[in-house]
Amino acid sequence: MSEAAKLREEICLLAKSMFDRGLTCGASGNISARLTDGTILVTPTGSSMGFLDPARISHLDARFQHIDGDLPTKEVPLHSAFYDTRQQTGAVVHLHSTHSVAWSMLPEVDPEDVLPPLTPYSIIRVGRVKLLPFFLPGDPEMGNAVRGLAGQRSAVLLANHGPVVAGKDIWAASFAMEELEETAKLALLTRGLNPRQLSAEQISALYDMTGHSK
């Protein structure tokens, strides 16, 4: 099996897994992944992540221009911003996952560091998450907002919209996305209960382990 064929299968496998577990619904969410030749595979516009066809995955060149397959998601500018500013990015996942969206709406959320330090794995897999303002779906300004972070964040949360996570490959990006969503869920479950959070020393040690920007 060629590299492209294998990656097409993996995109569909992970997308269906996330859809089946309610992490995204209907025709929401999108995934992209980079091949070693620099071209990009991305889920098509208007597609459901639960019912993707590997043969119809969009194929874009290194400048994000359509080569073949169905037309790509309208969120390509958002994806391209991570590839352009983070050299290590091999895949990007964007969902409309319920708990993350709900958390993005709350007034107490710190826009510079969205997730409370409840577990080590949110820091290990995701790092600090920036809250970006609301944009209309498909607005190229979302990509410009990500570029404005100069590659310092691997994940952002779009207000009233959903999270976007970049990773070294499709598996790392997907696992980090799930960690973000689970942490948002924990934050909602413990909201107002004064949960015991990780200490500043523990947080610093975790950042030292991972290499994420503090």
Phi, psi of 66 (to 5 degrees): -65, 130
Burial 83-100 (b: 16+ CB within 10 A, else e): bebbeebbbbbbbbbbbb
Residues 6+ apart with CB under 8 A from 92: 31, 32, 33, 78, 79, 82, 83, 164, 165, 166, 167, 173
* Residues that are catalytic: 121
CA pair distance 33, 10, nearest whole angstrom: 10
